[in-house]
Structure 1
Amino acid sequence: MSTPGKKVAVITGASQGIGAALVRAYRELGYAVVATSRGIAPSQDADIVTVQGDIADPATAERVIAAGLERFGRVDTLVNNAGAFVAKPFIEYTQEDYDAVNGVNLGGFFRITQLAVEQMLRQEGGHVVQITTSLVDHANSAVPSVLASLTKGGLQSATKSLAIEYATRGIRSNAVSPGTVKTPMHPEEYHGTLAALHPVGRMGEISDIVDAVLYLENAPFVTGEILHVDGGQSAGH
């Protein structure tokens, strides 16, 4: 059985890469975790509940938060990590691309965050973190990405809006804005090209993003922050 009274983190896009590393990191902090993604496998850890589903579907959000409350009775942190990225010239995006990216990046944020914040208000405290992209603040002609900017840019604005709306009610809202990170999403043969996009001359590591989320988790005076972890990209070239 899980330990009662533990803090609880909900993590989307949790089956691989940054999401899977965040699950491990929050468990090491002593949190119980509700982990969701389309293909996530069950966990042997009594303090991890896994929920399979497409986060673009509001019904998945309902199931994820319900599972957390049923098993652990609370929700303290939500990390909106699930993301879809399609890089194409603007005029080549299809309606399917638009629907898919909006569904995950905006739809996947919207309902689960409403439900999490509702519970956090009952508890009089909580923390919401979005994972965005440095391309929002630093467009690059070598990486055409209007859909990423449209959706993740919306998340960055929503991050600040949430922070201010709930600032007096104990709920913080922050975002981490990564550069390109070594995850299964990026085949190794492209690593050299991707490294060169960053002023520091290398890609980010998954641990760089996890460390940034954990900093925000443990920073009670920080809210409405967009923390760039992007090898200098947002500063310039």
Structure 2
Amino acid sequence: RIDTLVNNAGIFVAKPFTDYTQADYAAVTGVNLAGFFRITQLAVERMLAQGGGHIVNLTTSLVDNADARVPSVLASLTKGGLQSATKSLAIEYAARGIRVNAVSPGTIKTPMHPQATHEALAGLHPVGRMGEPGDIADAVIYLENAPFVTGEILHVDGGMSAGH
């Protein structure tokens, strides 16, 4: 069985738009979009056969609130696509027992961010700190245990989506 699929794979490359290379584009779209697409197709096929399931996509709050301090058009392009796909799939499969939601994080303390950058990254969030991996896990667990929620984009971003 596949009861839940969490699409957590992602690449984030922050640089000015004109500095992106074709290799950057291929890497980011390959992981953030192509990786999501095929695994989700396979999971939906299995979920339909078993009578339901749940998909959670990981996006980024930069999709909804761009930040001049973080040039990241490839993240917005690809994770924005995931956000739109989340809503589209939620509607397409709601009547067949498959829920589709997304968690939209701010900057989370992961090995992607060296310790030396943590203070600056904390300053991007109105709450004044970076998120913890457990904050995202808690959001995924909430969505897993919320059978009346589908098509939701849950911002877990220390207030970034509310504005600066």
Fold agreement, TM-score > 0.5: yes
Separation in structure 2 between the aligned mates of residue 169 and residue 183 of structure 1, nearest angstrom: 36
Aligned to 1:226: 153
Q: Secondary structure at the match of 1:224?
A: coil
Q: Secondary structure at the match of 2:102?
A: strand
Aligned to 2:14: 87
Aligned to 1:75: 2
The Cα shift of 1:133 comes to 0.5
Q: Secondary structure at the match of 1:166?
A: helix
Identify the match of residue 177 of structure 1 among 92, 97, 104: 104
Aligned to 1:111: 38
Aligned to 2:47: 120
Q: Secondary structure at the match of 2:154?
A: strand
Identify the match of residue 157 of structure 1 among 53, 75, 84: 84
Gaps of 5+ in 1: 1-73
Separation in structure 2 between the aligned mates of residue 181 and residue 112 of structure 1, nearest angstrom: 24
1:21-170 residue pairs with structure 2 within 5 A? 74-170=1-97
The Cα shift of 1:101 comes to 0.1
| Deviation per residue, 1:102-136 (Å, 9 max, x gap) | 00000010000000000000011100000110100
The Cα shift of 1:208 comes to 0.3
Q: Secondary structure at the match of 2:147?
A: coil
The Cα shift of 1:151 comes to 0.1
Paired residue type of 1:117: V
Does residue 192 of structure 1 match 2:116?
no
RMSD of aligned alpha carbons: 0.4
**Relative contact order, higher structure (CA 8 A, sep 6+):** 2
- Bigger share in helix: 2
The Cα shift of 1:142 comes to 0.5
| Deviation per residue, 1:180-210 (Å, 9 max, x gap) | 0000110011000000000010000110000
Separation in structure 2 between the aligned mates of residue 131 and residue 188 of structure 1, nearest angstrom: 23
Identity %: 80
The Cα shift of 1:137 comes to 0.6
Separation in structure 2 between the aligned mates of residue 209 and residue 166 of structure 1, nearest angstrom: 24
Identify the match of residue 139 of structure 2 among 195, 200, 212: 212
Paired residue type of 1:183: T
Moved over 2 A (4+): none
Paired residue type of 1:194: L
**TM-score, structure 2 length as denominator?**
0.99
Separation in structure 2 between the aligned mates of residue 93 and residue 187 of structure 1, nearest angstrom: 22
The Cα shift of 1:226 comes to 0.2
Separation in structure 1 between the aligned mates of residue 76 and residue 87 of structure 2, nearest angstrom: 16
